[in-house]
Structure 1
Amino acid sequence: MLEPLWGWPPPVLDPAGPYAEKVTVLAWALFAMGLLVTGVVIVALWVAIKGPPWIKSKLGGEKVVWIGGVAFPAVVLTILLVWGLTLTASLTQGITGKETRIRVTGEMWWFRVQYLGPNGEVILNDANEIHLPVGEPVVLELRSADVIHSFWVPHLSGKKDMIPGRKLFLRVQADKAGRYGGVCAEYCGGPHALMGFVAVAHERAAWEGWLAERHAAQAAAPAGPAMPGRRIFLESGCGACHRVAGTEANGLIGPDLTHVGSRLTLGAGILPNNHGTLMGWIGDSQSIKPGNRMPSYSMLPAEKLDAIADWLGRQK
Structure 2
Amino acid sequence: MLCRSARLSMALLAFPKNQTPLDPAGPQARHIEHTFLLIFWITSIVYAIVIAVLAIGVLRARSREAGIPAPFTPDPAVEKKAARIVGGALIATVILITIMMVSSFVTSHRTAALADQPALRIDVYGHQWWWEVVYPNGAAPSRVIHTANEIHVPANTVIDIHGTSRDVIHSFWAPNIHGKKDLLPGYENDLTFKVDSPGVWRGQCAEYCGMQHAQMAFDIVAQSPDEFEAWYRQQLKPAADPSSPEAERGRTVFLSQACSLCHTIRGTIAGGTAAPDLTHLASRSTIAAGALKNNVANLTAWVLDAQKIKPGCRMPPNLMNSTDLNDLIAYLETLQ
Query: Please, which moves more after superposition, 229-238 or 116-125?
Result: 116-125
Deviation at 1:207, TM superposition (A): 0.7
CA separation of 1:292/1:98 partners in 2, compared to 1, >3 Å: closer, same or farther?
same
CA offset digits 1:99-156 (Å, max 9, x no partner): 1111111110110000122359771111000000111121111211111111111222
Aligned to 2:106: 86
1:1-316 to structure 2, matched below 5 A, reads 1-2=8-9, 3-4=12-13, 5-6=15-16, 10-51=19-60, 68=89, 72-93=92-113, 95-96=115-116, 98-118=118-138, 123-215=144-236, 217-218=237-238, 222-224=240-242, 227-297=248-318, 299-316=319-336
Deviation at 1:275, TM superposition (A): 1.9
Deviation at 1:30, TM superposition (A): 1.8
**Which residue identity is paired with 2:163?**
L
Whole-Å separation in 2 of the counterparts to 1:209 and 1:72: 56
Structure 1: gaps of 5 or more residues: none
Q: Please say if residues 177 and 193 of structure 2, whose CA atoms lie closer than 8 Å, have aligned partners that are also in contact.
A: yes
Whole-Å separation in 2 of the counterparts to 1:302 and 1:73: 69
Please state whether the residue corresponding to 1:223 is helix, strand or coil. Answer: coil
Please state whether the residue corresponding to 1:11 is helix, strand or coil. Answer: coil
Q: Please say if residues 222 and 245 of structure 1, whose CA atoms lie closer than 8 Å, have aligned partners that are also in contact.
A: no
Q: Please say if residues 151 and 220 of structure 2, whose CA atoms lie closer than 8 Å, have aligned partners that are also in contact.
A: yes
Please state whether the residue corresponding to 2:144 is helix, strand or coil. Answer: strand
**Which residue identity is paired with 1:6?**
P
Please state whether the residue corresponding to 1:279 is helix, strand or coil. Answer: helix
**Identity value in percent:** 34
TM-score normalised to structure 2 length = 0.82
Q: Please say if residues 47 and 56 of structure 1, whose CA atoms lie closer than 8 Å, have aligned partners that are also in contact.
A: no
CA offset digits 1:21-57 (Å, max 9, x no partner): 1121122112112202212321342354445897985
Whole-Å separation in 2 of the counterparts to 1:119 and 1:77: 48
Whole-Å separation in 1 of the counterparts to 2:133 and 2:161: 10
Whole-Å separation in 1 of the counterparts to 2:27 and 2:117: 20
Deviation at 1:204, TM superposition (A): 0.7
**Which structure has the larger Rg?**
2
Whole-Å separation in 2 of the counterparts to 1:74 and 1:166: 38
- Runs of 4+ in structure 1 over 6 Å off: 52-56
Whole-Å separation in 1 of the counterparts to 2:37 and 2:181: 19
